[in-house]
């Protein structure tokens, strides 16, 4: 199918030059769970050229309340593989590279190196720190996280912004399931995708700033940070 037909509404909004620009870009999606599904789908529909889909997990029943690319018939299958199938059916204009691996247990630097940026959609601090360690100085990483329908996101650039290690130093991992609902996931995932698009165009919104969202009270606020 012709990409000018598929992306006609995008082009009407941001122009053909931006559409062609996005087709040359690649993003590393670390974690294809709740946030990763939303970020990946938006970037595919935006017309991004290449996505790495990185996750070693399988789909479990408790994932189905919020992980938008999966359904009940996918239980037991690998997330990264099912995500690639669903995303491939959307536009046919994004190269999808599946990596079934656990971040923190493998060397990911060679995959990240050719990417323009990273989406941190991980669910534990240890893996986030390992991902941050692998981020080259010239690349950005958009970090997002949730609790219930509350969420926060920021852009990380090595040497330019505060690091996740500094932010979350000494915070213990939660070894029990955290409450998370789809409203928070879809909202924070959408904002992460928007911030990735802004970073790609050299106009990041959240350098040394947290965007905070609390949906139950319609709270939208910013928290500035010193690097």
Contact status, residue 107 vs residue 130, Cβ threshold 8 Å: no
Quick one: 187 or 225, whose CB is closer to other proteins? 225
| Of 13 and 168, CB closest to other proteins | 168
Tell me how far, at minimum, the Cβ of 20 lies from other proteins, in Å: 31
What is the DSSP pairing of strand 209-214 with strand 219-224? antiparallel
The smaller minimum CB distance to other proteins, of residues 49 and 57, is found at 57
Contact residues for other proteins (CB under 8 A)? 31, 33-36, 121-125, 128, 144-148, 150-152, 162, 166-168, 171-174, 178, 180, 210, 212, 214, 216-217, 219, 221, 223-226
Query: Between the CA of residue 83 and those of 16, 28, 41, 156, what are the distances in Å?
Result: 28, 14, 9, 25
CA-atom Rg of the chain in angstroms? 17
Contacts of 7 (CB under 8 A, 6+ apart): 19, 47, 91, 93
Q: Are 226 and 162 in contact (CB under 8 A)?
A: yes
Closest separation in Å from C-beta 170 to other proteins? 8
Select 98 or 145, whichever has its Cβ closest to other proteins.
145
DSSP assignment letter at 64: G
Work out how close the CB of 100 gets to other proteins at its nearest, in angstroms, rounded to a whole number. 17
CB of 49 to other proteins, least distance (A): 24
Helical axes 182-200 vs 34-46, angle rounded to 10°: 40
116 vs 26: CA distance, rounded Å: 6
**With the C-alpha atoms ordered 171, 173, 179, 180, is the resulting torsion angle positive or negative?**
positive
Shortest distance, position 76 Cβ to other proteins, whole Å:
20
Residue (22 or 103) nearer to other proteins, CB = 103
Of 7 and 129, which CB lies nearer to other proteins in the complex structure?
129
The minimum distance between CB 224 and other proteins, in angstroms, equals 5
């Amino acid at each position: 199918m012709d990409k000018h037909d598929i992306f006609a509404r995008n082009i009407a909004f941001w122009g053909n030059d931006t559409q062609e620009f996005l087709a040359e870009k690649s993003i590393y999606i670390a974690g294809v769970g709740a946030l990763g599904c939303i970020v990946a789908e938006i970037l595919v529909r935006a017309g991004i050229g290449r996505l790495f889909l990185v996750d070693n997990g399988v789909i479990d029943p408790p994932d189905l309340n919020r992980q938008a690319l999966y359904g009940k018939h996918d239980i037991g299958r690998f997330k990264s593989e099912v995500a690639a199938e669903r995303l491939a059916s959307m536009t046919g204009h994004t190269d999808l590279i599946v990596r079934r691996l656990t971040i923190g247990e493998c060397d990911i630097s060679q995959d990240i190196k050719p990417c323009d940026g990273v989406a941190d959609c991980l669910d534990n601090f240890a893996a986030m720190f390992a991902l941050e360690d692998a981020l080259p100085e010239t690349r950005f990483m958009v970090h997002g996280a949730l609790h219930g329908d509350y969420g926060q996101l920021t852009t990380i650039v090595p040497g330019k912004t505060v690091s996740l290690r500094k932010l979350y130093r000494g915070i213990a991992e939660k070894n029990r399931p955290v409450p998370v609902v789809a409203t928070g996931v879809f909202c924070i995932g959408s904002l992460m995708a928007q911030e990735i698009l802004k970073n790609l165009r050299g106009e990041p919104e959240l350098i040394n700033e947290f965007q905070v969202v609390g949906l139950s009270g319609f709270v939208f606020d910013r928290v500035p940070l010193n690097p």
